[in-house]
Amino acid sequence: MKTNADADIVVIGSGHNGLVAAGYLAAAGKRVLVLEHNDYIGGGVSTAELTEPGFLSERCSMVHVLIQANPLITNDELGLLSRYGLEYIHPEASYAAAFEDGSHLPIFRDRAATMAQIAEISPRDAEAYDRFMDLAVQIVDMVAPSFFVPPANAGEQLAMLATTPTGKEMIRASGMSVHSVLAEWFTDERVHIALSRMISEINLAHPGDLNTGLYAYAGPGFNERFGMAYPRGGGEAFTQACARCIEDHGGEIRTSVSVEKVLTEGTRVVGVRTSDGQEIRAGDAVLGAIHPHRLGDMVEGIDPAIARTAAKTRLSTYSALVVHASLDEPLDFKAGPGLERVPWITLTPSSLEAVYRSYDELRRGQLPSNPLLEAGCPSIADPSRAPEGRALLHMLSLTTRNLADGGPSRWESIKNSVADSYLDRLGTYITNYRPGLVRAREIATPLDIEARSASFVNGDYIGLAMHWDQMGTNRPTPELSGYTVPGLSGFYLTGPFMHPGGGVLGGGRATAMVMFDDLELDSAGEVIAR
């Protein structure tokens, strides 16, 4: 290590991927320094009193799904659960669709419970769901291990998949749309709507988009196999557990530090320069959560051709508008008792045509008359998030940053009226909508989401589009998919725009594995059992 180094590893950004990677590196004996632009850590996995004291809202991610399959959690590799205070709550039903016609469809982790609910709508589809989930769980069992390690060679992976019936279906579905896959299994539009809406909230894609069909299996399959979970106390609990792990192993996290340039000497990355002109040196490596669209501006010495290709990567079709609100009491849904205990509820027309019309309008930059809304009170599953008797509302609508009438700049002038209309729409699904129910609120537009995290360009909170042609060894580009930048040594990438993708997955584990190998860390085997 160079004697003038400020740390062995300098990490740019404290989003959950960067914190996870930093935790692994610190546990393996490296002196880690994490630099965060904001005055808080965690990026999208962070909690704050956005409306009133005592009401703990999630800035972005409310539900933790795919990370439940990560050895970070299943094997508690960093001790987040056993040593550093992380605890997950697993509701019986984490997701449900409430329809305009008064019916509803909850999706349980327990398959029999879900089938019983579907049978009330369509006995045929209940039987189909059983067969569909057999295949979905088989697919998840095949793909889940690959999510948390560096991406495998695409050709070898395809060859292996082609040897089994399940693998062949994965290849076929990968090129299809979610709509096409679901249409092969289900006849009742409400079943189709419930599943497609759940999936589109995860991948921010139109259900009719090609190269998304595998998610039709993966979303429900992950739910049944591992469950959806909510960290007790909010995402801050996950973030602070990571921070305690890093600091317990001698690492340091600094907030309100903006990195503007990654510094090189020859072809070696040696540190970073901050916006106030300070240079911070790294003895071994720099790890950056730097969006592909920003690499050319931030990284000295990067090959211009690599930077140009990275800048062309596609963002997701949709973004989100989020209304955080403190409520005088929990929501009371018209659709039936028990629904108020489901933290993630899609509010939707009963017609597939009406739902798809909303997706199409958003793609054209228009705000639809039937917004793609979800709403719920996470404080029901986790009472620590709101004062006794009160409730916390998390309401999200898929939307677009680039409005056809006025462009992105128009959001500031319309966000309050849009939020009013969304709350009014919510009122048609509940019995207790009245003046005073909403005590206070905070609105996050796509521009606000982008401002909170440099990883969420255009408000894309999964980093980049998760169509199948932009995943695995193509995420974000073939040249960058190994978490390194060709032509530069001592520099690594992490973030939602890298494999395995956006959402709360703990993808920094895979980056750490690559760094373990490159740095020849003998202690790595004590942290990650391969």
State the span(s) of the chain assigned CATH 3.50.50.60.
7-64+231-314+463-526
Q: What is the pLDDT of residues 292-333, one digit of tens each?
A: 999 999 999 999 999 999 999 999 999 999 999 999 999 999
278 pLDDT higher than 90: yes
Summarize the confidence of residues 134-139 as an average pLDDT. 98
Reported pTM:
0.96
Going by pLDDT thresholds of 50, 70 and 90, the confidence category of residue 1 is very low
Q: Environment class of residue 429 by beta-carbon count within 10 Å: exposed (0-12), middle (13-18) or buried (19+)?
A: buried
158 pLDDT higher than 90: no
**Cα separation, 307 vs 147, whole angstroms:** 25
Which residue type does 367 have?
L
Q: What is the pLDDT of residues 324-342, one digit of tens each?
A: 999 999 999 998 778 888 9
CATH architecture for the domain at 7-64+231-314+463-526: 3-Layer(bba) Sandwich (3.50)
**If phi over 0 gives left and psi between -120 and 50 gives alpha, with beta otherwise, what is residue 149?**
beta
pLDDT score for 530: 63
Q: What is the pLDDT of residues 184-225, one digit of tens each?
A: 999 999 999 999 999 998 899 999 999 999 999 999 999 999
Question: Would you give the end-to-end CA distance of the chain in angstroms?
Answer: 27
pLDDT score for 528: 85
Going by pLDDT thresholds of 50, 70 and 90, the confidence category of residue 3 is low
Q: Environment class of residue 191 by beta-carbon count within 10 Å: exposed (0-12), middle (13-18) or buried (19+)?
A: buried
Average pLDDT, the chain: 95
Summarize the confidence of residues 409-418 as an average pLDDT. 97
Contact 447, 411 (CB under 8 A): yes
Q: What is the pLDDT of residues 339-366, one digit of tens each?
A: 888 989 999 999 999 999 999 999 999 9
The H or E element that residue 514 is part of is helix 508-519
Q: Which residues contact 477 (CB under 8 A, 6 or more apart)?
A: 292, 306, 309, 310, 313
Tell me the CB-side half-sphere exposure of residue 464, using CA atoms within 13 A.
28
* 3-state DSSP assignment of residue 467: coil
Helices (H) and strands (E) in the chain, counts: 17, 18
State the span(s) of the chain assigned CATH 3.90.660.
317-461
Summarize the confidence of residues 487-500 as an average pLDDT. 98
Summarize the confidence of residues 240-268 as an average pLDDT. 98
Between 80-84, 264-268, 339-343, the lowest mean confidence (pLDDT) is in 339-343
* 3-state DSSP assignment of residue 124: helix
Contact 484, 493 (CB under 8 A): yes
Contact 216, 195 (CB under 8 A): yes
Q: How far is CA 191 from CA 99, 142, 345, 458, 465, in A?
A: 11, 25, 14, 31, 25
Fold assignment, 317-461: Polyamine Oxidase; Chain A, domain 2 (3.90.660)
90 pLDDT higher than 60: yes
Short-list 447, 499, 493, CA closest to 468: 499
**Cα separation, 134 vs 153, whole angstroms:** 27
Short-list 503, 498, 493, CA closest to 461: 503
Q: 93-99 and 104-108: which strand pairing?
A: antiparallel
Q: Which residues contact 156 (CB under 8 A, 6 or more apart)?
A: none
**Cα separation, 276 vs 299, whole angstroms:** 17
